[in-house]
Amino acid sequence: MLRLKWIFATVFCFGFCVLLLNLQDFCTICRKIFYSPSLRSATVRETFQLRPKVQCERNPPFLVLLVTTNHSQKEERNVIRQTWGKERLIGDKLVSTYFLLGAGTNPRLQEELIEESNTYNDIIQRDFIDSYYNLTLKTIMGIEWICTHCPQTTFVMKTDTDMFVNPLYLVELLVKKNQTTDLFTGSLRLHDAPIRDINSKWYISTAEYPQAKYPPFCSGTGYVFSVDVAQRIQNVSSTVPFFKLEDVYVGMCLEKLEINLQNLHTETTFYAYKKPFTVCNYRKLVTSHGVQPGEIYLFWEALRRSRDEQC
């Protein structure tokens, strides 16, 4: 009997040590179970908590900008509304902007968000936890909103609040490209591999993604796609297992759809880093990453004042 107790204790201790050593993979496996397509696909079809009232049938936009944000980024949203995200006609092309949020934990901030939605009519919100690793749900929510409430748009852009976006140059390039279907473009990532460093923000365990290389994808800082691609992503997302890195997840959907990434221009126009500001630099880019609200305003005003100057 004593020998059996020792055997049981040894097995228990060994199992506990293995569990500790593999805790990260264990949590990953649990996460994959709870997010498997059969239980919770990336297209969580629930009621929108907040959504704008739009009339896309009557006044269809050429381009819709979807900006991921969170409850505490009111300053960033207001600066974007005053600068590159302000609804405008570029030539005869209407450009509109909407902000994507999940559910917060602060009731006061939610009340402020409701007031903001009533004032600006540009908030899209659904009841999932608003966190960095739920950017996939947030992005797919935005795509679903487009497909359901504004399928008349021609193009969609997904971007973030810490971005400078030049919609004037983007519209110019899209018109020149003259391709309104099967288009997905941005800062191309064709050979990226999973980061296995557990201390990294973008750490991915082998349980989450066992392959050595990601499918081609565009940096989540900003990518643009035609509305038919939005509809196809929405349809296929229910069959693609949840993955916490949103840009890679969209790449997985595109791989399954056999949609190839394209460059929008022969020169680099989407910068996934902060491009040093000059008027001439920012006239000929679509995105620059890591730009603070005050800088966004200053850069936009500098571009506006120098519209007639030559580079």
Looking at the domain assignment, is residue 42 inside a domain?
no
Q: Does 18 share its domain with 149?
A: no
Q: Is the pLDDT of residue 245 over 70?
A: yes
Say if pTM beats, i.e. exceeds, 0.95. no
CA 29 to CA 45: how far, in whole Å? 24
Q: Does 53 share its domain with 7?
A: no
Looking at the domain assignment, is residue 39 inside a domain?
no
Name residue 311's beta-bridge partners.
none
Phi-psi label, residue 178: left if phi above 0, alpha if psi -120 to 50, beta otherwise: left
- Neighbouring C-beta atoms of residue 262, cutoff 10 Å: 15
Confidence of residue 309 (pLDDT cuts 50, 70, 90): confident
Q: Does 22 share its domain with 72?
A: no
Rg of the chain (C-alpha set): 22
Residue 307: per-residue pLDDT: 86
Give the whole-number percent of the chain exceeding pLDDT 70: 85
Q: Does 26 share its domain with 147?
A: no
Q: Does 94 share its domain with 194?
A: yes
Closest CA to 81 of 126, 121, 42: 121
Distances (CA, A) of 107 to 90, 104, 135, 230, 262: 38, 8, 21, 33, 43
Looking at the domain assignment, is residue 41 inside a domain?
no
Q: Does 26 share its domain with 59?
A: no
Looking at the domain assignment, is residue 95 inside a domain?
yes
Give the whole-number percent of the chain exceeding pLDDT 90: 82
Q: Does 53 share its domain with 122?
A: yes
> Contact, 139 vs 158, CB < 8 A?
yes
Domains in the chain, number: 2
Q: Does 239 share its domain with 297?
A: yes
> Contact, 101 vs 124, CB < 8 A?
yes
Looking at the domain assignment, is residue 85 inside a domain?
yes
Q: Does 215 share its domain with 238?
A: yes
The model's pLDDT over 38-66, given as tens digits with 9 standing for 90+, comes to 224 444 455 899 999 999 999 999 999 99
Distances (CA, A) of 62 to 40, 90, 95, 269, 295: 33, 10, 6, 20, 27
Q: Give the distance from CA 62 to its chain's centroid.
A: 20
Q: Does 142 share its domain with 262?
A: yes
4-18, 77-91, 115-129: least confident range: 4-18
- Neighbouring C-beta atoms of residue 145, cutoff 10 Å: 22
Burial of 2 (0-12, 13-18, 19+ CB in 10 A): exposed
Q: Does 19 share its domain with 136?
A: no
Q: Does 83 share its domain with 18?
A: no
Q: Which domain holds residue 19?
A: 2-34
Looking at the domain assignment, is residue 99 inside a domain?
yes
CA 87 to CA 94: how far, in whole Å? 7
Q: Is the pLDDT of residue 137 over 60?
A: yes
Q: State the average pLDDT for the chain.
A: 88
CA 40 to CA 33: how far, in whole Å? 9
Q: Is the pLDDT of residue 79 over 80?
A: yes
